[in-house]
Structures are given as structure tokens and as C-alpha cells.
Structure 1
Amino acid sequence: MPYAEPLSAEEIDARLGGLDGWAVSEDGRTLHRTYHLAHLPAAIFALHIAGIQAELNHHSDLTLGYDTLRAEITTHAAGGRLTGKDFDLADRIAAVAPGHGAR
């Protein structure tokens, strides 16, 4: 994966404004969201996200719970800082979430 430049605080705020329900960790290094949905659809949603990650060659940490799926995204190649790649992945996840009944 090619290196991506870390975003400034202003760029992060601007990109975050377009992602309903997503937040940045207190240390500013992780973009995250927890989706709520039925158990089996959560697993199917996780598989869909895995496919998107493979397509983008950018991966998040996914935590599958009984009726939740949490995605945490950062760019390790940028020293664990947020880049445009993180927001691109979050945008793609947010776009497919309604089709899975995720809220």
C-alpha cells in the first residue's frame, strides 16, 4: 500500500462531518463506529466489509459482537495517524451499511 500523508485536524473535522455516527478517538489516531444489527446480519456485514477492504487494500479492525459490529480504522503506514484512506474506507462502509440493516 502506498504511503498516505496524515490529515490535519481541520481536514479530519471536514471529512468527519460527512460520516454520520462515526467518531475520532480521543488521541486522534482512530476513526471508529459501532453498528447495531441482528447477529447473523452482523457477520454477513463483516464479510462485506472484508471484501471492500481487500478491494481498497486498506484494512480496519473489526469486532463482531452478538448484535454489533465495530470498525476501527487507522493508517499504520502513516504512524497510526488518520489519512484520506481511512475516510475513504469509512465512506464505503457507511454506504453499504443500510443494505445490511445496520443502524
Structure 2
Amino acid sequence: MSKLSVEQVKLYLSKVPGWKLVEERMALSRTYHCRDFAVAVQLVNRVAELLEHDGQYVEIHLAGNVVTITLTTGGRIGLTGKEFALAQAISKVS
């Protein structure tokens, strides 16, 4: 998949509410504040199920009841439609 232009990134970003662009890393990020640690772990597990066969580069940070998910293309600079599709899928399971 090819790298998105700045205009395309802005358009795609409007379709994934709650996600923000981390410009210095060209990544998408979203932080969830869960009711408690157990609910946060359940969220991490649901995201892990989505990613099991995806091969996408994802960072998940769990601290107490807070989960931060960051999506990037890994070694490449820029974002593709795959990251935005994954953000939509994660939003559906959260």
C-alpha cells in the first residue's frame, strides 16, 4: 500500500474519531481510560485478537486502567490506508 498524502491523512483522520496523528512519528494514536485494570486488559486482548494474523506494527501501552494504542507503518515513513482501517476495527471492539 502506498503512503498517503497530508491531505489524505487529514481526510482519513476525520473518519476515525478519537484517534490523533502523532506527526513527529507519522503514527496514529488513541488513549482509552477504562473503568479498571481488568477492563483495560480485556481491551488489550480484543486488540490482540484483531492483530494475530494482521502483521501490522502496533504499540500497546498498558498502565493501570489506561491503554494507549499507537499504529505506524514500522520502518517506512508515512501512513497508509491499512493503519486507518485497523484504527476503525479497533474502535469497533473498544
* TM-score of the pair, normalised by structure 2: 0.90
Runs of at least 4 residues off by over 4 Å = none
Please state whether the residue corresponding to 1:60 is helix, strand or coil: strand
The range that moved more, 53-62 or 4-13, is 53-62
1:22 is aligned, of 9, 19, 42, to 19
Deviation for aligned residue 1:50: 0.8
2:61 is aligned, of 54, 60, 63, to 63
One-letter amino acid of the counterpart of residue 87, structure 1 = F
Q: What is the match of residue 85 of structure 1?
A: 82
Number of residues of Structure 1 aligned to a counterpart in Structure 2: 93
Determine which structure has the larger helix proportion and give its number. 1
Deviation for aligned residue 1:58: 1.5
Deviation for aligned residue 1:28: 5.6
Which structure 1 segments of 5+ residues have no match? Answer: 98-103
Determine which structure has the larger strand proportion and give its number. 2
CA RMSD of aligned residues (A): 1.4
2:10 is aligned, of 8, 13, 16, to 13
* TM-score of the pair, normalised by structure 1: 0.83
Please state whether the residue corresponding to 1:45 is helix, strand or coil: helix
Identity %: 28
